[in-house]
């Protein structure tokens, strides 16, 4: 049960939706350090603050034999100009379909699903959405190249997501004009040494509502002192949210693994 079967840092961290990956993009890796004969559990909390909004998020993850990841996340979103709080629960699963990010010739590939429930249904009418529930489906491919750049490990991930969520679902799902759309997400990282990684993420966002929803970008640095804990900090550029422009700020996450 004391999972210890992977290289330090290779499971990534926790996304703001609960799955293992980067801060804003789920990766093909499963959470924790469980190998094929182990079970691991992880818990995390994160805070994201931009100019006019903040998102507090806590969750739990379980990796079963490095084949199936189960996760639950609770998001609390604050619209500071209106002094309004919005909450959402996300229950997710990720299944490893093929490979290993290091040892297989081709990238590791995983299929994920995220069931989202908005706890404040008044948001649906306020923003012109059509539902307070939605499901994201994604497929992710990840690969870690050992000693690839000046002797340092290099990582990349591509994710294709089918979604009808407006701002992750915090502004409801769908609209009268648009439904499910395909979105591209990507991540890259360089392991400076065994304990530190720096990277970049991009997440395409749908435009279901009359107010624009800009794509997201983050620049992150992650610290892995050991396999029990990791800390991630990031600069966020989220563009326009709910009609308010120039939403830049920071993200901080603390995670523990068993």
Q: Tokens standing for 227?
A: 């396999």
Which residues 6+ apart lie within 8 Å of 221 measured at CB?
Answer: 196, 197, 198, 199, 232, 233, 234
The answer to whether 28 and 109 are in contact (CB under 8 A) is: yes
Q: Residue 178: its pLDDT value, please?
A: 75
For the chain, domains (ranges, CATH) are: 13-257 (2.40.160.40)
pLDDT at position 7: 92
pTM exceeds cut of 0.85: yes
Share of the chain above pLDDT 70, in %: 98
143 pLDDT more than 90: yes
Per-residue pLDDT at 2 exceeds 50? no
Q: Residue 81's pLDDT is what?
A: 85
Q: What is the pLDDT of residues 177-206, one digit of tens each?
A: 777 899 999 999 999 999 999 999 999 999
Look over the chain and give the mean of its residue pLDDT values, rounded to a whole number.
94
- Mean pLDDT across 83-96: 96
**pLDDT given at position 210:** 84
Mean pLDDT confidence for 154-164? 97
pLDDT, residue 220, reads: 98
Q: Is the distance from CB of 157 to CB of 24 less than 8 angstroms?
A: no
Query: What is the arithmetic mean of pLDDT over 133-148?
Result: 97
Q: What is the pLDDT of residue 54?
A: 97
Distance between start and end Cα atoms, the chain: 8
Instruction: Please name the residue that has the structure tokens 């407006």.
Output: 166
What tens digit of pLDDT does each residue of 10-62 get?
999 999 999 999 999 999 999 999 999 999 999 999 999 999 999 999 999 99
């Amino acid at each position: 049960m004391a999972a210890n079967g992977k290289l330090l840092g290779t499971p990534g961290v926790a996304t703001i939706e609960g799955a293992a990956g980067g801060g804003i993009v789920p990766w093909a890796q499963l959470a924790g350090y469980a190998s094929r004969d182990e079970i691991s559990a992880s818990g995390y909390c994160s805070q994201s603050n931009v100019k006019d909004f903040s998102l507090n998020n806590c969750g739990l993850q379980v990796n079963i034999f490095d084949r199936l990841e189960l996760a639950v996340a609770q998001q609390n979103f604050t619209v500071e100009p209106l002094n309004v709080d919005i909450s959402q629960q996300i229950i997710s699963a990720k299944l490893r379909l093929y490979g290993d990010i290091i040892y297989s010739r081709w990238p590791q590939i995983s299929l994920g699903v995220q069931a989202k429930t908005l706890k404040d249904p008044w948001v649906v009418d306020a923003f012109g959405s059509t539902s307070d529930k939605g499901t994201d489906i994604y497929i992710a491919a990840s690969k870690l190249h050992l000693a690839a750049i000046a002797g340092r490990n290099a990582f990349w991930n591509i994710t294709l997501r089918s979604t009808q969520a407006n701002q992750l679902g915090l502004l409801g799902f769908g609209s009268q004009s648009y439904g499910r759309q395909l979105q591209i997400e990507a991540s890259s990282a360089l392991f400076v040494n065994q304990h530190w990684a720096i990277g970049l993420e991009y997440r395409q966002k749908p435009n279901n509502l009359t107010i624009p929803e800009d794509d997201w970008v983050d620049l992150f640095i992650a610290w892995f002192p050991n396999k029990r804990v990791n800390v991630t900090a990031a600069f966020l550029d989220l563009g326009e949210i709910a009609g308010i422009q120039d939403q830049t700020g920071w993200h901080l996450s603390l995670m523990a693994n068993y």
